[in-house]
Structure 1
């Protein structure tokens, strides 16, 4: 039996899960959240600007890396400002259009990061396994094609995913998570959403499966090449660069996988699901620029030079 939509679908005001913050902790939590968001924005902007102004970093690896802070800031900005507003006002209401927008941006961030990291893995694979052909394969034209393809696949897939929700009238008003996303939007409707479900599964397979396959293959080949090489310095540099990339990828992949699994099984405690959901929007945007900034020697040196130059002036 199909339940008719309530008046909530006309008012389009939704209620997110309560934050459970006591009155005494409202302002400390607000200050902590604001500092966290500003730190994320500052660190990612620092990486962006350093790559943009440093000609030494105008290489395929860093041009691909340039897209990661953009994606990270999209995710953080989709989450933090509304969260800070909710903390101060103690209101968890959000309009349906705003919820749709937040879900779109958060999914663009998540899928974008996985696709960008896959492209970076391919770049490292060519650089280490086929060094003599690297400049030919990763020439400017091919690099632009890779970047355009990443964002086209990302935006088109997520846009279609969200548009499949817009056609439904909502009959519920409770968002089961601390922010809007595809699974929480699906639970608002009482209509037949099998098409959405099938498309969502196909998107998960594509966005999760393809990057994971690329990472496994490229790193297996990189490891094989590193073992076979007789140059300790080259091997150490390759392992250091790839190790940094792998840590960033695993942080995002593990969090995303646990979140998707938790939404598929009703037996998973809501608090566990929400913890993984929030961690995806905090840890990768916070850690990505720090990990790359500290572990990638060339980037770290240019960041230090950029800061010294601007502080002294």
Structure 2
């Protein structure tokens, strides 16, 4: 419900307006989404356990991969239970504190994912460009520090983002999405959003463009070494960098889809397509990475084979 005080409006809930009536398909879609969630949880947890219990996988690269899988569990768990509940509900409202909690979780998921991928590219750069010094340059203590920095940086940046949005005075409470989104709330504001917009650009630069710049720099150095190195060096680079590059491209495309459909008028695009594009970066990345890393990294693949035998 709402109450008006001193010329601005307080809302106790937001209405998610992008849900549509699926009638008889409701339970079929619910089972499909539930299956996807169970598949994501199962595949990521299995690989985390495999890395933790297998001593041969206690190497920097696999620790970073483990951090990636943990983040995917965190991101998908901030969406799927919420989504499943609303699929069976006839009222698509969410309390304001819960909405901002979901925004915080989804935005930190994006930030940690990009920071993790940047750290992993730096690790591959050291392994391929400085193989003789790799053990001394990438110690397990340094691995722990880099993983902690990736998570803490994303959390601190997003805390400020959600705090700025939480203090806004709103003119409405209808969000045209199937989950809570910070930019959608900023567009509902009656008060001045200049600070939000400026900080939004800064946080995007810190979370997306800085990690992307690190990845670009490290891969330019890796390519230089590959072109001037031996065939064995090129093979090692391809085998270890392919999963990372594929993961980066897949996630970047998903985030770009979300940004485009949030910032620009896409009224000509079918509603179901817009929903799929908005969910892509949260659902496809946690499904894609376990398959890619499980198949492409030889040590994980051989560990799977020994486990099943």
Q: Which range, TM-score by smaller chain?
A: over 0.9
Matched, 1:36 2:39: no
Partner of 2:235: 236
Distance 2:99 2:268 in 1: 23
Unaligned runs of 5+ in 1: 309-313
Partner of 1:201: 201
Matched, 1:5 2:8: yes
CA change 1:265–1:60 in 2 (3 A) is: same
Q: TM-score, normalised by structure 2?
A: 0.92
Unaligned runs of 5+ in 2: 1-5
* Shift in Å, 1:21: 4.1
Give the 3-state SS of the residue equivalent to 2:8 in structure 1: coil
Distance 1:127 1:240 in 2: 12
Matched, 1:134 2:137: no
Partner of 2:159: 159
CA RMSD of aligned residues (A): 1.8
Q: How does 1:128-277 map to 2 (within 5 A)?
A: 128-230=128-230, 232-266=231-265, 271=271, 273-277=274-278
* Shift in Å, 1:182: 1.6
Q: TM-score, normalised by structure 1?
A: 0.91
Matched, 1:293 2:294: yes
1:174-222 superposed Cα distances (whole Å, 9 cap, x missing partner): 1122211221221232111111111011111111111111111111111
CA change 1:139–1:94 in 2 (3 A) is: same
CA change 1:115–1:268 in 2 (3 A) is: farther
Does the aligned pair in 2 maintain the 1:18–1:92 contact within 8 Å? no
Give the 3-state SS of the residue equivalent to 2:188 in structure 1: coil
Distance 2:248 2:38 in 1: 23
Aligned residues: 302
Distance 1:189 1:296 in 2: 48
